[in-house]
Structure 1
Amino acid sequence: MDGPGLDRALDDLAASARAAMVRAVEASGAFAADPRWREAFGAVPRHLFVPYYYVGAAGGAGGFERCWGESPDPRTRERWVRGAYEDTPLATRLRDGELLSSSSQPSLMALMLAELRVEPGDRVLEIGAGTGYNAALLSYRLGDDHVTTVDLDPEITESARRHLAAAGYRPTIVTGDGARGVPERAPFDRIIATCRLASVPRAWIAQCRPGALVLTPLATGLVALTVRDAGHAEGHFLHTPAYFVPLRGASRPAPEPAAPSGVPRRAGESDLFRFLLALTRGSLEPREAYALWEREGMPDRRRYGVTVGVRRAWAWLDEPEGPYAWPLPGSSGARLVEP
């Protein structure tokens, strides 16, 4: 089948697949903190933001096969639509086999947006434009004028702009270093990052209103910070693991640590222990981290937090001024407290 009939068939398939995706995301509990996001996910067409993506395939370039929405093969186009609505991350931009950009797993996006706890009138800054899909969801909920998204790569921001326009959304899109924020659009009520950092840029805190929320990946988790004033923010990690492409530009984090040596295998294979290793990199050796982890009963992510001050920023377990605290990279004057 060719022509308009095929387009209608793909549109019908996309609508059906999108409804199934929303049901799957809801079943995961990702909307629990704010069920109003269900409507946005049901309305915004994800396939318009991923005109092509890469799937793992033996024999493909770099181990990937390009799945393209304008393929001459109708079966490939159908596969593309179905894949766009799977609850899975999609690789959207590769260079020399390195993943540069992706569309995150919808259930993780939903959880992060729900935990952002937006209210009508809030101004939101998104760090990492990606495909533009997350910005579209925010624009659906808050309106274009209240959403700003920034990315360092002009190719990414331009493609995000095209995708957003095709879907009918026009938030402010800025090409620049996300670690520096977007001061000309400040102040913000919410900042959400969709890329991994080594620390929390103070520029973000300075560009927020008091009481604002900053939600960002850090180590292999997600930390939600409440802003007290232009120089201070503090908060805990969410329970969920999170693995994102690193932020390019300032504050780029080091690669994730290799399998630790000198600790029991069960610890080395534990996601929670590896989170502690990533969070305390440069402060604790693996054996020291293991001793702490065992002593404190293998704590989950929610017991950890982060404080950002004017002169120093640090991660901690249980209490900001408690017995366990570790400086974040780039934090001058931070201290390490050990038992």
Structure 2
Amino acid sequence: MGAHALHRDLAELAAAARTALVREIDASGAWAADPAWRAAFEAVPRHLFVPYYYVGVMGGYERRWGESRDPRTREKWVRGAYADAPLATRLRDGELLSSSSQPSLMAMMLAELRVRDGDRVLEIGAGTGYNAALLAHRLGDDRVTTVDLEPEITEAARRHLAAAGYHPVVVTGDGARGVPERAPFDRIIATCTLASVPTAWLAQCRPGARILSPLATGLIVLTVRDAGHAEGRFLHTPAYFVPLRGAGRPDEESADLEGLPRRARESELFRFLLALSRGSLEPQEAYALWEREGQPSRERYGITVGADREWAWLDDPEGPYAWPLR
């Protein structure tokens, strides 16, 4: 098969796989809050953003290439590129540096961002560039800024975006510090897990801006009042992302759950409480609270960011259950 025929075959495979992915996301209800995102997922070719990716094979990793002349390998690679699953895309010394998130989770996060025409959006964590392309398709290149600490990641993101026909602003820098030269922003979305919400972001937001970020295995949505205050609650869904690299990198700790009942040890919601209250509650204290409050769902938890402190809470920012984040 010649190069032209190979390219045409790959494009046809990708179009069919993209249609199937959109149907799957549709069925999941992920973009119910803002169905306009459907058009972006229909248009943006994910396979151009994952020219290679890694999938677990016998404890190791296997690489699949879309350029293979073997039609079965090519088809398998394209199906994987458009699977509703996260793809590891960059590893260093066994550490995951970058990935392409599960598309239905991306769709849900983008829908919950609740963008409006004309909004300026800052993305923390460029990754492959796929999420920035979805934002650029919806809002326009000049309205989207994406930042990452690793030059090799931002360089690759720029290449992928250009190949797909998108040119948002890609910045190499510490996402915890934001991108002040591109401010003010109406929306900030992070695609990496935080330990706390950087106050620098608030100062770069317009009043009423919305911040959506992974934190403590959940997704927090904050409304910014001004440069010194933001507050909001968690969404219902669990979320696991690569940690933010740089000044705001989360501490990595694992709690000793020995002695706790199995239902707590195996409960994703209990582990969320442990992660959110890290260091403030011993596992036994957290378990007692969790049982006393009826094993609360994520939506009952929230975060308040002030000029001089930041805290997580259950039910009420000024209530009895609150834990410092910084």
Q: TM-score range by the shorter chain?
A: over 0.9
How many Å separate the matches in 2 of 1:18 and 1:177?
Answer: 33
Cross-structure match for 1:19: 19
Q: Distance in 2 between matches of 1:188 and 1:63?
A: 41
Match of 1:229 in 2: 226
Q: Name the structure 1 match of 2:149.
A: 152
Amino acid at match of 1:315: A
Which range is displaced more, 251-260 or 145-154?
A: 251-260
For 1:139 and 1:297, the matched residues in 2 are separated by 42
Q: Find the aligned partners of 1:15 and 1:73 in 2 and give their Cα distance.
A: 19
C-alpha contact (below 8 Å) 1:259/1:268 kept by paired residues: no
In 2, the alpha carbon distance for the partners of 1:218 and 1:34 equals 23
Q: CA RMSD in A?
A: 1.1
Deviation per residue, 1:254-286 (Å, 9 max, x gap): 225256222111101000000000000110000
Instruction: Determine helix, strand or coil for the equivalent of 2:64.
Output: strand
Match of 1:98 among 75, 81, 95: 95
Q: State the one-letter code of the partner of 2:20.
A: A
SS in 2 for 1:235: strand
**4+ runs deviating over 6 angstroms:** none
- The reply on whether 1:301 has 2:310 as its aligned counterpart is no
Give yes or no for contact 2:147–2:175 (8 Å, CA) kept in 1. Answer: yes
- Given that 1:306 and 1:314 are in contact with CA atoms closer than 8 Å, whether structure 2 keeps it comes out as yes
Sequence identity (%):
79
Q: Does 1:7 align with 2:1?
A: no
2:247 corresponding residue in structure 1: 250
CA distance in 1, matches of 2:204, 2:266: 39
For structure 2, which runs of at least 5 residues remain unmatched after alignment?
none
Match of 2:107 in 1: 110
Shift of 1:78: 1.8
Contact 2:255 2:283 in 1 (8 A): no
Alignment of 1:109-128 (within 5 A): 109-128=106-125
Q: How does 1:170-209 map to 2 (within 5 A)?
A: 170-209=167-206
Partner deviation per Cα, 1:82-131 (whole Å, 9 max, x = no partner)? 11100000000011221110000000000000000000000000000000
Counterpart residue type for residue 26 of structure 2: E
CA distance in 2, matches of 1:143, 1:198: 31
Can you list the C-alpha shifts for 1:30-62, whole angstroms capped at 9, x where unaligned? 01110000010001000000000001112xxx6
CA contact (8 A) 2:256 2:283 kept: no
Counterpart for residue 50 of structure 1: 50
User: Within 2, Cα distance between the matches of 1:100 and 1:3?
Assistant: 32
- Structure-2 separation of matches of 1:283 and 1:158: 40
CA distance in 2, matches of 1:22, 1:152: 31
CA distance in 1, matches of 2:304, 2:255: 27
- Counterpart of 1:68 in 2: which secondary structure? coil
Residue 70 in structure 1 maps to residue 67 in structure 2: yes
Is the CA contact 1:161–1:173 (under 8 Å) kept in the aligned structure 2?
yes
Q: Choose 76-85 or 115-124, whichever is displaced more.
A: 76-85
In 2, Cα distance between the equivalents of 1:17 and 1:259?
Answer: 43
Quick one: distance in 1 between partners of 2:179 and 2:226? 18
Partner-residue secondary structure (3-state), 1:244? coil
Q: Does 1:213 align with 2:210?
A: yes
Unaligned runs of 5+ residues in structure 1 are 332-339
Instruction: Give the match's secondary structure for 2:221.
Output: strand
Question: Counterpart amino acid of 1:153?
Answer: E
Residues 262 and 286, structure 1, Cα contact 8 Å, conserved in 2: no
Q: Is contact 2:10-2:66 (8 Å) kept?
A: no
What is the distance in 1 between the residues matched to 2:258 and 2:282?
10
Three-state SS of the structure 2 residue aligned to 1:52 is coil
Work out whether residues 219 and 238 of structure 2, in 8 Å CA contact, stay in contact via their aligned partners in 1: yes
Report the AA paired with residue 43 of structure 2: A
C-alpha distance in 2 between matches for 1:68 and 1:315: 44
In structure 1, C-alpha distance between the alignment counterparts of 2:263 and 2:190, rounded to whole Å = 31
Provide the C-alpha distance between the structure 2 equivalents of 1:190 and 1:34, rounded to a whole number of angstroms: 15
Structure-1-length-normalised TM-score? 0.94
| Normalised TM-score (structure 2) | 0.98
- The question of whether the paired residues in 2 share the 8 Å contact of 1:49 and 1:163 is answered with yes
**What is the match of residue 84 of structure 1?**
81
